Amino acid sequence: MADDFSGKIKEKLIKAKQQWAENGRLLTGRTDSLHENRLPPGQREVKDWPVLDIGITPHVSATDFRLIIDGEVENPITLDFEQLLDLPAFMTKSDIHCVTSWSRYENHWQGISALSLAELVKPMADARYVLFTAHDGYTTNVRIEQFLDEDVLLAHHWEDVPITEEHGGPVRVVIPKLYFWKSAKWVRQITFSKTDKPGFWEVRGYHNNADPWTEERYSE
Ligand SMILES: Nc1nc2c(c(=O)[nH]1)N[C@H]1C(S)=C(S)[C@@H](COP(=O)(O)O)O[C@H]1N2
Ligand SMILES: [Mo]
């Protein structure tokens, strides 16, 4: 990540933290909204953060970064990194559940919420799916309501540091309520669509819906 962005990010993060404190959200966090049994069936907790991907690590600098948001939207847009940072800052914490059975608790994310992106591009009424394309060629798909959830974001920071290249920096998607393969690293394009399009793992037998609480790991 280029140094000239760090001052700007810091400023935005401080503002976001203040907003949280004002709302009392730092006190309650999201713990109440978590399931009573924190670990979904068949998962085990890990303390490290494993790296999983299809084996290509693209090098995307903050300067080269462009995010295309297109498809069934009123205002298709291409954002560079600075324009992305101009959108409202968003912080949230969530657990990661990977289909390979590891879960990692309490990840603090900072970035742009899916809801503020939607506010910007205005999905049309007939948009029902959201399709992600990444710089390594990876693709994945979710239903629009799974994307437009209050805990979904495009993250550029994890635990107050820029997301590393191996974890999908400069910008990755985080969709906490679904198995982690639905969270595209190195996201390049977000397409709102009338029709579904199974992604890289979905066409290779992974479940299309990916809910860890009902163990939607693989399709029958
Ligand atoms: N672009 C891209 N995103 C991806 C993948 C990938 O191969 N390429 N793998 C997915 C899978 S299967 C998982 S479990 C998580 C892993 O993210 P992590 O390496 O940060 O733990 O990224 C998901 N997003
Ligand atoms: Mo995964």
Query: Where do the DSSP E strands lie in 41-169?
Result: 44-45, 66-71, 77-80, 90-97, 102-113, 129-134, 139-143, 153-158, 161-162
pLDDT at 153 over 90: yes
Per-residue tokens: 183:
């969270």
Percent of the chain with pLDDT over 90: 82
174-188 CB burial, b ≥16 within 10 A, e <16: bbbbbbbbbbbbbbb
What's the pLDDT band for 26 if we cut at 50, 70, 90? very low
pLDDT tens readout for residues 74-88: 999 999 999 999 999
Q: Whose CA is nearest to atom 20 of ligand 1?
A: 167
Q: Which CATH number fits domain 2-214: 3.90.420.10, 3.90.180.10, 3.30.565.10, 3.10.20.30?
A: 3.90.420.10
* Higher per-residue confidence, 189 vs 1: 189
Residue 179 CB–ligand 1 contact under 6 Å = no
What's the pLDDT band for 11 if we cut at 50, 70, 90? confident
Percent of the chain with pLDDT over 70: 86
Task: Sketch the domain layout of the chain as residue ranges.
Answer: 2-214
Residue 9 CB–ligand 1 contact under 6 Å = no
Residue 183 CB–ligand 1 contact under 6 Å = yes
Q: Whose CA is nearest to atom 7 of ligand 1?
A: 53
Q: Whose CA is nearest to atom 12 of ligand 1?
A: 181
pLDDT at 183 over 90: yes
* Higher per-residue confidence, 15 vs 122: 122
Of 132, 133, 135, 185, which is best to mutate to test ligand 1, by the most ligand atoms within 8 angstroms of its C-beta? 185
Of 166, 180, 218, which is best to mutate to test ligand 1, by the most ligand atoms within 8 angstroms of its C-beta? 180
pLDDT at 108 over 50: yes
Q: Which residue has the tokens 């809801």?
A: 115
What's the pLDDT band for 15 if we cut at 50, 70, 90? low
Residue 52 CB–ligand 1 contact under 6 Å = yes
pLDDT at res. 31: 32
pLDDT tens readout for residues 161-179: 999 999 999 999 999 999 9
pLDDT at res. 33: 40
pLDDT at 2 over 50: no
Average pLDDT of the segment spanning 29-56: 80
Contact 108, 158 (CB under 8 A): yes
Whole-prediction pTM: 0.89
